[in-house]
């Protein structure tokens, strides 16, 4: 019976009068009728079989030309939207004063608000939108984006070229200041411990063809060849990063061409002295170990292995015992190798054994085929020896095991979610801005996680925690980020 009714009402020309005649013949009564512009959409019948429904196919007209009044744009943004959370932890109060000297104050046409420019670039970094044109297309149709930058639905958005010009005008100082404030807020919120820091570098592919690297007509004269995962060599840059071991807050960074080695940048990026610095094997040199010792910092990095050019059947430098006080080595046969001279170019120190000792030594077949054995080491060899001994301890291995989840996690998050795998723009200065934006977003995300838990608490608990947080902020207001001004803008 239901099927018969539906088949009878499938015709779109059925109107209300026809429906009345249809039901009267069958002794049914109509308890509900839904219609649109005279055409039946839904009917509820009451008959001998009880109440049942009959739905009719309908088509919604897409004409949307009528004028209407809308509530405030903010009412369309869910309370748990990530841009609401970002807006709560974002502090841009310094922007206008920081860029005042970049604009004329008494002449010219009004500019796009610098704070709007910063917010647009933060959206680009937060959502990993690599192209400015695509960013502005998304802002045009995204209510949350418009609300975040403070533009109403009927306001004309800035042109994409305006953002590119604004980036040239602002430079990286304002983005460096934004990064510093994210560090300070993380410190005030208890997210930074400062006891164990993690150091590493990651390569970023430049927007440049390999055939035009370091050429006079190159559109990116700063990019250089670097080693990428998988052993490939491509034009790019390197982001050298320092992260705290507690909540993976980024404390410092520098951006260099892709051919700069990690160990050349290790010491320069550290400000205050932590207890330990964890890094991969690229940093395990004697020079870094010596520099860390001078500052009272424990270097947790796999030490460089001793090199020998006499194949594996010969004794290596590690088989010789170094006496730092006497500045000499003792060979496995118990004889002394004394300091002779220093190489003029590479600066390595050269130690020789006596020919008379080597001539009668029973271990000579395992040591050298020459008439005497010599060693060449750097002037930091003593620090390297201590690092090798320290690397065998259990607490060293435990600290090193914590390295990958922290610093590699920062790089993975940056590249997978925030489009750090490839340069958005060309040139070292713009590459620095991109890196500063991404690490600032990472720090703000750490803050968002803390404040979201705070906002979810009942009112009384939230008030108490706000009070305690205010006390903490006043207590640590003298804190300066770890030499951020030295390396974040380098």
**Same domain, yes or no, for 447 and 417?**
yes
Closest C-alpha to 431, from 344, 490, 372, 367: 490
Q: Is residue 224 part of a domain?
A: yes
Q: Is the pLDDT of residue 405 over 80?
A: yes
Provide the strand spans (E) within 193-249.
Answer: 196-205, 224-227, 233-244
Residue 27 or residue 186, greater confidence = 186
Q: Is residue 63 part of a domain?
A: no
Alpha helix locations (H) across 10-73? 16-25
**Same domain, yes or no, for 12 and 92?**
no
Reported confidence tier of residue 58, pLDDT bands at 50, 70, 90: low
Q: How far apart are CA 310 and CA 316, in angstroms?
A: 9
pLDDT tens for residues 138-173? Answer: 999 999 999 999 999 889 999 999 898 888 888 889
**Same domain, yes or no, for 453 and 374?**
no
For 382, list phi and psi in degrees, rounded to 5. -60, -40
* CATH code of the domain containing 438: 3.30.420
Q: Is residue 72 part of a domain?
A: no
Q: Is residue 71 part of a domain?
A: no
Closest C-alpha to 489, from 416, 439, 447: 439
Residue 118 near residue 167 (C-beta atoms within 8 A): no
Distances from the Cα of 262 to the Cαs of 36, 123, 194, in angstroms? 70, 30, 21
**Same domain, yes or no, for 275 and 351?**
no
**Same domain, yes or no, for 265 and 408?**
yes
Q: What is the mean pLDDT of residues 349-369?
A: 92
pLDDT tens for residues 228-249? Answer: 988 899 999 999 999 999 999 9
Q: Is residue 193 part of a domain?
A: yes
Q: In the listed set 55, 70, 99, which residue is the last one of a domain according to the structure?
A: 55
**Same domain, yes or no, for 166 and 285?**
no
**Same domain, yes or no, for 188 and 165?**
no
**Same domain, yes or no, for 285 and 405?**
yes
**Same domain, yes or no, for 402 and 275?**
yes
Distances from the Cα of 329 to the Cαs of 193, 358, 361, 417, in angstroms? 41, 14, 16, 52
Tell me how many domains the chain contains.
4
Residue 470 or residue 257, greater confidence = 257
CB environment 66-80: b (16+ within 10 A), e (fewer) = eeeeeeeeeeebeee
Q: How far apart are CA 464 and CA 75, in angstroms?
A: 29
What does 102-155 look like in DSSP terms, one character per residue? GS-SSSSSPPPPHHHHHHHHHHHHHHT---HHHHHHHHHH-HHHHHHHT--TTS
Q: How far apart are CA 198 and CA 243, in angstroms?
A: 5
**Same domain, yes or no, for 27 and 163?**
no
Residue 41 structural domain:
2-55
Q: Is residue 390 part of a domain?
A: no
**Same domain, yes or no, for 292 and 369?**
no
**Same domain, yes or no, for 231 and 90?**
no
Total-model pTM: 0.78
Mean pLDDT of the chain: 81
């Amino acid at each position: 019976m239901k099927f018969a009714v539906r088949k009878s009402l499938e015709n779109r020309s059925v109107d209300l009068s026809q429906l009345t005649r249809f039901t009267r013949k069958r002794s049914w009564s109509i308890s509900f009728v839904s219609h649109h512009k005279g055409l039946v959409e839904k009917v509820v019948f009451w008959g001998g079989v009880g109440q049942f429904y009959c739905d009719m196919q309908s088509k919604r007209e897409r004409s949307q030309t009528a004028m209407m009044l809308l509530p405030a744009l903010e009412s369309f943004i869910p309370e748990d939207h990530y841009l609401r959370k970002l807006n709560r932890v974002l502090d841009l109060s310094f922007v206008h004063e920081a860029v005042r000297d970049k604009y004329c104050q008494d002449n010219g046409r009004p500019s796009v608000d610098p704070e709007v420019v910063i917010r647009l670039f933060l959206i680009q970094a937060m959502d990993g939108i690599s192209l400015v044109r695509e960013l502005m297309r998304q802002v045009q149709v995204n209510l949350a984006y418009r609300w975040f930058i403070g533009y109403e639905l009927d306001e004309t958005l800035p042109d994409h070229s305006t953002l590119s010009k604004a980036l040239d005008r602002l430079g990286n100082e304002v983005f460096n200041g934004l990064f510093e404030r994210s560090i300070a807020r993380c410190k005030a919120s208890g997210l930074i411990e400062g006891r164990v820091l993690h150091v590493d570098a990651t390569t970023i592919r430049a927007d440049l063809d390999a055939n035009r690297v370091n050429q006079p007509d190159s559109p990116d004269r700063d990019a250089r060849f670097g080693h990428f995962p998988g052993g490939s060599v491509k034009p790019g840059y390197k982001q050298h990063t320092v992260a705290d071991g507690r909540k993976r807050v980024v404390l410092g960074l520098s951006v260099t061409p892709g051919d700069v080695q990690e160990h050349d940048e290790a010491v320069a990026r550290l400000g205050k002295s932590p207890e330990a610095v964890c890094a991969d094997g690229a940093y395990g040199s004697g020079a870094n170990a010596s520099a860390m010792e001078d500052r009272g910092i424990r270097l947790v990095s796999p030490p460089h292995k001793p090199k020998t050019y006499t194949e594996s059947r010969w004794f290596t430098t590690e088989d010789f015992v170094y006496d730092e006080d006497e500045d000499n080595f003792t060979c496995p046969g118990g004889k002394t190798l004394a300091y002779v001279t220093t190489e003029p170019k590479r600066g390595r120190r050269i130690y020789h054994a006596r020919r008379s000792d080597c001539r009668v030594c029973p271990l000579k077949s395992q040591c050298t085929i020459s008439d005497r054995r010599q060693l060449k080491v750097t002037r930091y060899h003593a620090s390297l020896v201590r690092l090798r001994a320290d690397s065998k301890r259990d607490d060293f291995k435990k600290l090193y095991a914590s390295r990958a989840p922290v610093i590699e996690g920062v790089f993975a998050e940056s590249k997978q979610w925030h489009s750090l795998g490839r340069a958005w723009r060309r040139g070292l200065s713009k590459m620095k801005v991109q890196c500063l934006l991404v690490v600032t977003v990472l720090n703000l995300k750490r803050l968002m996680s803390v404040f979201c838990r705070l906002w979810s608490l009942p009112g009384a608990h939230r008030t108490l925690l706000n009070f305690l947080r205010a006390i903490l902020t006043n207590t640590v207001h003298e804190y300066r980020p770890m030499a951020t001004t030295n390396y974040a803008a380098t």
